[in-house]
Amino acid sequence: MRSIEFTVVIFVLVGVFMTACAATQKDHKQGSLNFKDGAFRNNSLVETHSFWEVAWAGLTSDTERAKWPKWVETITDPSPQDRVNSKDARVTFINHSTFLIQINGFNILTDPVFSERTSPISFAGPKRVHKPGIALEDLPEIDVIIVSHDHYDHLDLKSINQLIKRDNPKIYTGLGVGSRLASSDNINELDWLDSAQVSDDFKLWFLEVQHFSGRTLTDRNSTLWGGFLMQIGGKNIYFGGDSGYANHFKRTYEQFGPVDLAFLPIGAYAPRHLFKPVHLDPFEAVKAHMDLRAKQSIGMHYGTFQLSAEARVEPVELLEQAKREAQLSPSSFITLNVGQPLDMIGVGSSD
C-alpha cells in the first residue's frame, strides 16, 4: 500500500475512535439558537466542506500543491517580558494563529499550538516548518486563553492541557469545545454575542464568523466556532479565528465601533473552490480590515503548517498587492516576524 493511502486509512481509523469517545460527552449546547437539527449553522447558509474533505485534499492533491521548505530558521524569544502594564499592547507572533498579547497587566494567548503536527496522530499530517517563536516552557504566566474553534490547527489539546496544568488560565471558547479539554474550573463556553467580564477593565465577546467545526468523522459542526472582541484598556482588539468573507465583519463594526487592533487570517486559501467559504485570502482579508474600520491589522494563519496549495510566502506577497489595490497605507495591515515582539505604541489612542 502506498504511504499516502496508509496515512488516509490511519486518519479514518483514528477518526472513528475519537467519534466513539465524543459520543459519550455531555451536551451543553441544546439551548443555543444557533444549534439547529443537531448541528451549529452559519447564518449565511453557505455550504462548507468537512474536515475530512479538506484533510483528504491536503493528503492527495500533491500535483497542484506548491512545494514548501522542510525547515525554516526563525527567531525564538527565550525570555519574553513577564508583564506589560501599559495600555499599549505588546504582540509576539508565535506561529500560525498563536499570538502572545500583553496589555494592561494581562498575558493573553490565542489559539495555542505548539505541537509538531496539526493532526489526530503524531506521525502523519501537517508538520511545522519552523519552531514556535516562544517555546511553551518559556511563556510567561498565561492569564487568558482564547480558542476560536476545535480544528487541529487551532485547538492543540497537548499544548492547552499543559498550560491548564501549569497556569490554570481562564479559557474562553465556543459552545461544546470545553468538553474536549482537561478538567478546569476556568473553562467558559460562549455562544455568539455572549460576553464575559474578565476583570473590571477587560470584557470579552464571542462573535459570529463563517466557518465550521469538527475533529472526527461524524462530529461536524457539533461545537461552535467564532471570533473574539476583547475590550481592554479602552481598546477594541479583534481576533478573527478562521473565517470566510461575509457580512459579519461589517456587523461587528456596527455593534462595537472601530477596531483598534485586528488579527485576521490571510493563508490556507487555495484551491479557492475548496477554501473560499471558510478561509479568507489576502484580498478578502483587506476587505475585512476595511469592514472592521481597523486602525491596525496583523496577518495570521500562514507559513507554519502546509494546510493548502499555495506557496509558503504567497499570502504575505499577495497582502502587499491587496493593500496597494485598496490604496491602504503599507503600515495599516502588517505581518510580523516569528518570535519578534512588537510594541503597538499609539494603536487605538484617542484622536
Domain boundaries, the chain: 3-23+30-342
pLDDT at 37: 86
Residues 43-54 as b/e (b if ≥16 CB within 10 A, e otherwise) read eeeeebbbbbeb
Percentage of residues in the chain having pLDDT higher than 90: 77
Residue with cell 499555495: 310
Mean of pLDDT over the chain:
89
- Higher per-residue pLDDT: 351 or 120: 120
pLDDT at 45: 66
**273 within 8 A of 281, measured Cβ to Cβ:** no
Instruction: Find the helix packing angle between 51-60 and 3-22, rounded to 10°.
Output: 170
pLDDT at 40: 94
Query: Three-state secondary structure along 112-173?
Result: CCCCCECCCCCCCCCECCCCCCCCHHHCCCCCEEECCCCCCCCCCHHHHHHHHHHHCCEEEE
pLDDT at 12: 44
- Higher per-residue pLDDT: 25 or 238: 238
- Closest to 262 (Cα-Cα) out of 246, 285, 234: 285
Q: Is the pLDDT of residue 43 over 50?
A: yes
241: cell is: 479565528
**CA separation, residue 82 to residues 70, 90, 110, 234, 307 (Å):** 33, 11, 17, 22, 33
Query: Three-state secondary structure along 85-106?
Result: CCCCCEEEEEECCEEEEEECCE
Confidence of residue 301 (pLDDT cuts 50, 70, 90): very high
φ and ψ of 98, to 5 deg: -100, 120
Q: Is the pLDDT of residue 128 over 50?
A: yes
pLDDT at 216: 83
Q: Is the pLDDT of residue 15 over 90?
A: no
Task: Write out pLDDT tens, residues 184-229.
Answer: 789 999 999 999 999 999 999 999 999 999 998 888 999 999 999 9
Fold of 3-23+30-342: Metallo-beta-lactamase; Chain A (3.60.15)
Overall average pLDDT of the 230-236 stretch:
96
CB atoms within 10 A of CB 28: 12
pLDDT at 21: 43
Q: Is the pLDDT of residue 315 over 50?
A: yes
Overall average pLDDT of the 120-129 stretch:
91
pLDDT at 52: 63
Confidence of residue 53 (pLDDT cuts 50, 70, 90): low
Overall average pLDDT of the 28-50 stretch:
81
Confidence of residue 24 (pLDDT cuts 50, 70, 90): very low
Q: Is the pLDDT of residue 349 over 90?
A: no
DSSP 3-state of 201 = coil
Q: Is the pLDDT of residue 243 over 50?
A: yes
Overall average pLDDT of the 70-80 stretch:
96
Overall average pLDDT of the 250-256 stretch:
98
pLDDT at 44: 83
Confidence of residue 4 (pLDDT cuts 50, 70, 90): very low
Residues 151-190 as b/e (b if ≥16 CB within 10 A, e otherwise) read bbbbbbeebbebbbeebebbbbbbbbbbbbbeebeebebb
pLDDT at 23: 40
Overall average pLDDT of the 57-82 stretch:
84
- Higher per-residue pLDDT: 13 or 123: 123
Task: Write out pLDDT tens, residues 87-117.
Answer: 999 999 999 999 999 999 999 999 999 999 9
pLDDT at 55: 61
